């Protein structure tokens, strides 16, 4: 898995502080940024967190580049609807020797890992064979329509992989560009940094958390799973490791802040 913060709102914390300043003072729009020193900006952002006023932080957005994650993760990720996604298409990009994600629990058992590897190889073989069969059929049809040989072949391949992709597994790796505003990111971290989240999306969430803290430490001072700043909401389903989780995220935050 590779996660990078490829862009974010310029001066995200100052923008959030300016938005909050508008709510709580008589300042006009032209004067919102006046006097917003780093100290005053931090004070405004911290105040918003303390009083639970979350709407101003929606003005700051963060865009991530994500590689080496599974289509299974993608299905979970897009459940977070307050976000924008661009995903590498299996309809337009041929899966030649597709990369795949190997779950740690399977990797830990040699027999399971070998079975998994064979399954991936079989999926690739089925995909390649289906692509070849469909491409041949579409090529003939395209030529009969009067297309040039070059155009007919190019179109036939795209038509073939559109249907052949159905045999590709959830493990198939994909690439994503994702944008979320800070409020949506807080919600994402509350759900996906939790120990009860599925391992792959939890790993992704933690990598994103570290990047966000590095870019805007005050804005994400209280981000993370719910138990970081309060009690565990999972009830009897709790992992029972709230103290351990708090210490872990405190260490991540302090490391990035320093």
Residue by residue, pLDDT tens for the chain (258 residues) are 999 999 999 999 999 988 887 877 776 777 677 778 888 888 888 888 888 888 889 999 999 999 999 999 999 999 999 999 999 999 999 999 999 999 999 999 999 999 999 999 999 999 999 999 999 999 999 999 999 999 999 999 999 999 999 999 999 999 999 999 999 999 999 999 999 999 999 999 999 999 999 999 999 999 999 998 888 888 889 998 999 999 999 999 887 665
CA angle (121, 125, 129) in 5-degree steps: 170
Residue from 71, 81, 192, 202 carrying the catalytic annotation: 192
Q: Is the dihedral of CA 41, 205, 179, 97 positive or negative?
A: positive
pLDDT at residue 54 in the model: 87
242-255 burial: b if 16+ Cβ within 10 Å, else e: beebeebbeebbee
Known active-site residue 165: no
pLDDT at residue 258 in the model: 58
Q: Where are the beta strands (DSSP E) in 40-168?
A: 61-70, 84-87
**For the sheet containing 2-8, what is the strand order?**
2-8, 61-70, 173-181, 84-87
User: Are 155 and 147 contacting, i.e. CB atoms less than 8 angstroms apart?
Assistant: yes
- pTM for this prediction: 0.91
pLDDT at residue 124 in the model: 97
- Exposure of 143 by Cβ count < 10 A (0-12 exposed, 13-18 middle, 19+ buried)? middle
User: Quick check: helix, strand or coil at residue 185?
Assistant: helix
pLDDT at residue 256 in the model: 67
- d(CA 193, CA 208) in angstroms, rounded, equals 10
- d(CA 118, CA 126) in angstroms, rounded, equals 12
88-125 burial: b if 16+ Cβ within 10 Å, else e: eebeeeebeebebbebeeeeeeeeeeeebeeebeebbe
């Amino acid at each position: 898995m590779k996660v990078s913060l490829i862009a974010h709102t310029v001066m995200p914390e100052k923008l959030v502080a300016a938005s909050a300043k508008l709510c709580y003072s008589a300042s006009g729009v032209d004067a919102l940024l006046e006097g917003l020193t780093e100290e005053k900006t931090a004070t405004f952002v911290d105040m918003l967190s303390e009083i639970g006023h979350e709407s101003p932080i929606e003005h700051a957005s963060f865009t991530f580049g994500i590689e080496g994650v599974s289509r299974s993760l993608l299905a979970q990720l897009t459940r977070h609807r307050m976000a924008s996604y661009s995903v590498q298409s299996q309809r337009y990009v041929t899966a030649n020797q597709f990369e795949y994600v190997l779950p740690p629990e399977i990797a830990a058992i040699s027999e399971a890992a070998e079975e998994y590897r064979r399954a991936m190889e079989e999926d690739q073989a089925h995909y390649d064979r289906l692509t070849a069969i469909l491409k041949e059929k579409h090529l003939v049809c395209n030529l009969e329509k009067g297309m040039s040989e070059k155009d007919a072949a190019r179109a036939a391949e795209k038509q073939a992989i559109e249907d052949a992709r159905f045999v590709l597994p959830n493990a198939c790796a994909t690439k994503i560009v994702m944008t979320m505003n800070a409020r949506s990111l807080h919600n994402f971290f509350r759900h996906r940094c939790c120990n009860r989240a599925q391992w792959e999306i939890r790993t992704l969430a933690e990598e994103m958390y570290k990047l966000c803290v590095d870019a805007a430490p005050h804005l994400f001072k209280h981000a993370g799973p719910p138990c970081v700043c309060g009690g565990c909401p999972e009830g009897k389903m709790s992992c029972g490791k709230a103290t351990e989780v708090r210490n872990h995220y405190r260490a991540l935050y302090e490391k990035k802040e320093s």
